[in-house]
């Protein structure tokens, strides 16, 4: 059933959910740019916007798209984030780094996770202001013995990372990116398919001419996980033989790597399509990996210009959220508490005690930012409209119920942060029993921190080409910036 947003105040209220007052930027009238007013009369953040603020939002989105085309994996995200951090005065954190208010540091966790830190005025015992997000996205990855031949083609055996619909990954251009670590200690970087002059790789689907019976299968039966193997070469050797032997020779001559070296490699297959504006009005961004490099990009940008904060601010970006927050670069590791220990020890020296870390964590405020599905015009019934987040209506506070919400006083604190900065927001609660998802937030609440999940709504997350609203991206950046400064 379709609903007309313009028919009445009542329908507008019911569809939009519980939103709060907020403006787009410092110079925009709150009356025109607010997503909602105090009477809960809700409207899009685009309505009443000045051209100057629209220009600011569009410029922010241009930088975002450029970043997303470079940062296609955890490894490339960390590389690009370090470039941004160093260009803005951040230095690597050392054990003897001075904890002077305003000092800016970054800590690289095994090239796959990173934290940016700005030392605040308050003592560490008062806690920290932390925004956490993850930088991995659903993708295919090569098995450690990937190369084989079949039907006069060379193919790669793949596994998958995160939840995805397999049929969406066929017949699209794929790029191969990652690194190969060799026994001699050297590392070989691989990036093939993102440059327009590069070749790409494709998982070929069967044509409609030859799929009688095949097309009647359920979607999740069309392709098994073992069917997701891209073609990587076709020309046999001069004397015939397996085409995969030619690929092996190519890898050796081009990168000086052998089949055995692929055992110690992290090679990913990601969509090769570039990030693009979407719509006649160019109001949206279509891009791969917006879950959750969108939130992580705004997190990085937000901490760059906070000056000297009251509490020490940390933008904490982790790996492996899509597969359960595992490994020593994921949110379940002891890395974050170890980082807090290092900061306290750098300040207190031999007087440092482990109990100080526990006390600091218990006073710490954290936002776990992660995008989530927005109401989709192709299937609006997936949401109940009163609590469904809409593109363009601001950041959304995720309120799950059943004991998974942040406590009410912390939600009130976050509302104050957003309202004081005139940032539009809305709530998001999944349809009961019909949907769900996870974030990194639970891993930090277990450490006795105050944690709330929020993000922005995005269409088609976990697909090869998701869609976000430029105004929401910008407002998420503003929300993070306001929280760091609180």
Q: Is pLDDT at 78 greater than 90 in this prediction?
A: yes
Q: Is pLDDT at 304 greater than 50 in this prediction?
A: yes
Q: Is pLDDT at 378 greater than 70 in this prediction?
A: yes
- List the single range of 57-61, 194-198, 232-236, 348-352 with lowest mean pLDDT: 348-352
Q: Where in the chain is the domain with CATH 3.40.630.10?
A: 9-137+288-485
Q: Is pLDDT at 239 greater than 80 in this prediction?
A: no
Q: Where in the chain is the domain with CATH 2.30.250.10?
A: 139-271
Q: Is pLDDT at 44 greater than 70 in this prediction?
A: yes
Beta bridge mates, 316: 115, 132
Q: Is pLDDT at 39 greater than 70 in this prediction?
A: no
Position 36 confidence tier, pLDDT thresholds 50, 70, 90: low
Position 26 confidence tier, pLDDT thresholds 50, 70, 90: very low
**Architecture of the domain made up of 9-137+288-485:** 3-Layer(aba) Sandwich (3.40)
Torsion on CA atoms 365, 371, 373, 375, rounded to nearest 10: 80
Q: What's the Cα-to-Cα distance from 198 to each of 174, 176, 193, 245, 345, rounded to whole Å?
A: 11, 10, 5, 21, 49
Averaged pLDDT, 60-65: 98
Q: Is pLDDT at 104 greater than 70 in this prediction?
A: yes
**Which of 2-11, 24-33, 116-125 is modeled with the greatest confidence?**
116-125
- List the single range of 4-18, 114-128, 223-237, 410-424 with lowest mean pLDDT: 4-18
Position 37 confidence tier, pLDDT thresholds 50, 70, 90: low
Which residues neighbour 223 within 8 Å (Cβ) at sequence distance 6 or greater? Answer: 166, 167, 170
SS3 179: strand
Interval 165-191: pLDDT, tens? 999 999 999 999 999 999 999 999 999
pTM above 0.75, yes or no: yes
**E-strand stretches of 103-237:** 104-109, 113-118, 129-134, 139-150, 153-161, 174-181, 187-192, 231-233
Position 337 confidence tier, pLDDT thresholds 50, 70, 90: very high
Domain spanning 139-271: CATH superfamily:
Aminopeptidase i, Domain 2 (2.30.250.10)
Position 432 confidence tier, pLDDT thresholds 50, 70, 90: confident
- The more confident residue out of 63 and 427 is 63
Q: Is pLDDT at 3 greater than 50 in this prediction?
A: no
Give the percent of the chain with pLDDT over 90.
77
User: Nearest Cα to 141, choosing from 186, 182, 178?
Assistant: 178
Angstrom distance (rounded) from CA 6 to CA 395: 22
Interval 347-372: pLDDT, tens? 998 888 989 999 999 999 999 999 99
Q: Is pLDDT at 267 greater than 50 in this prediction?
A: yes
Q: Is pLDDT at 8 greater than 70 in this prediction?
A: no
pLDDT of residue 195: 96
Interval 307-326: pLDDT, tens? 999 999 999 999 999 999 99
pLDDT of residue 223: 87
Report yes or no: 389 and 396 within 8 Å, Cβ to Cβ. Answer: yes
Q: Is pLDDT at 35 greater than 70 in this prediction?
A: no
User: Nearest Cα to 46, choosing from 62, 30, 33, 60?
Assistant: 33
Mean pLDDT score across all residues of the chain: 89
Angstrom distance (rounded) from CA 373 to CA 439: 13
Q: Is pLDDT at 4 greater than 90 in this prediction?
A: no
Angstrom distance (rounded) from CA 410 to CA 244: 57
For 85, the token pair is 């951090």
For 347, the token pair is 């300040």
Q: Is pLDDT at 16 greater than 50 in this prediction?
A: no
Averaged pLDDT, 397-417: 89
Q: What's the Cα-to-Cα distance from 44 to each of 19, 34, 151, 277, rounded to whole Å?
A: 11, 8, 54, 19
For 146, the token pair is 């990937």
Averaged pLDDT, 235-255: 90
Beta bridge mates, 115: 107, 316
């Amino acid at each position: 059933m379709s609903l007309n947003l313009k028919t009445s105040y009542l329908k507008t209220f019911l569809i939009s959910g519980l939103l709060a007052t907020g403006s787009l930027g410092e110079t925009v009238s709150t009356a025109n740019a607010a997503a909602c007013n105090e009477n809960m009369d809700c409207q899009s953040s685009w309505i009443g916007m000045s051209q100057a603020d629209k220009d600011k939002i569009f410029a922010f989105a241009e930088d975002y798209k450029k970043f997303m085309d470079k940062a296609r994996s955890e490894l490339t995200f960390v590389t690009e984030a370090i470039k941004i951090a160093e260009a803005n005065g951040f230095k690597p954190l050392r054990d003897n780094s001075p904890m002077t208010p305003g000092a800016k540091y970054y800590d690289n966790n095994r090239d796959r996770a990173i934290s940016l830190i700005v030392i605040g005025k308050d003592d560490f015992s008062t806690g920290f202001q932390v925004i956490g997000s993850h930088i991995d996205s659903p993708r295919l990855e090569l098995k450690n013995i990937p190369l084989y031949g079949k039907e006069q083609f060379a193919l790669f055996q793949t596994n998958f990372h995160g939840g995805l619909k397999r049929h969406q990954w066929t017949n699209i251009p794929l790029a191969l990116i990652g690194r190969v670590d060799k026994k001699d200690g050297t590392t070989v970087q691989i990036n093939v398919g993102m440059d327009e002059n590069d070749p790409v790789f494709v998982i070929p689907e069967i044509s409609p001419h030859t799929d009688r019976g095949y097309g009647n299968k359920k979607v999740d039966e069309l392709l098994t996980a073992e069917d997701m193997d891209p073609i990587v070469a076709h020309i046999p050797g001069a004397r015939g033989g397996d085409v995969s032997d030619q690929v092996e020779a190519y890898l050796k001559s081009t990168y000086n790597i052998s089949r055995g070296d692929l055992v110690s490699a992290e090679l990913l297959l990601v969509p090769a399509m570039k990030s693009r504006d979407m719509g006649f009005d160019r109001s949206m961004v279509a891009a791969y990996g917006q879950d959750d490099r969108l939130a992580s990009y705004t997190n990085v940008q937000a901490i760059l210009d906070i000056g000297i904060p009251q509490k020490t601010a940390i933008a904490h970006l982790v790996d492996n959220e899509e597969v359960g927050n595992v490994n020593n670069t994921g949110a379940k590791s002891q890395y974050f508490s170890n980082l807090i220990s290092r900061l306290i020890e750098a300040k207190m020296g031999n007087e440092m005690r482990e109990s100080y870390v526990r006390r600091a964590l218990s006073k710490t405020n954290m936002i776990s930012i992660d995008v989530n599905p927005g109401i989709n015009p192709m299937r609006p019934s997936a949401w109940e409209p009163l609590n469904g987040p809409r593109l363009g209506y601001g950041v959304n506070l995720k309120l799950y119920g059943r004991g998974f919400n942040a406590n009410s006083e912390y939600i009130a604190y976050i509302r104050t942060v957003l309202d004081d900065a005139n940032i539009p927001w809305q709530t998001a609660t999944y349809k009961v029993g019909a949907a769900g998802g996870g974030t990194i937030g639970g891993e930090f609440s277990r450490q006795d921190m105050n944690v709330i999940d929020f993000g922005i709504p995005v269409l088609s997350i976990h697909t090869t080409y998701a869609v976000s609203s430029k105004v929401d991206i910008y407002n998420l950046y503003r929300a993070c910036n306001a929280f760091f400064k609180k």
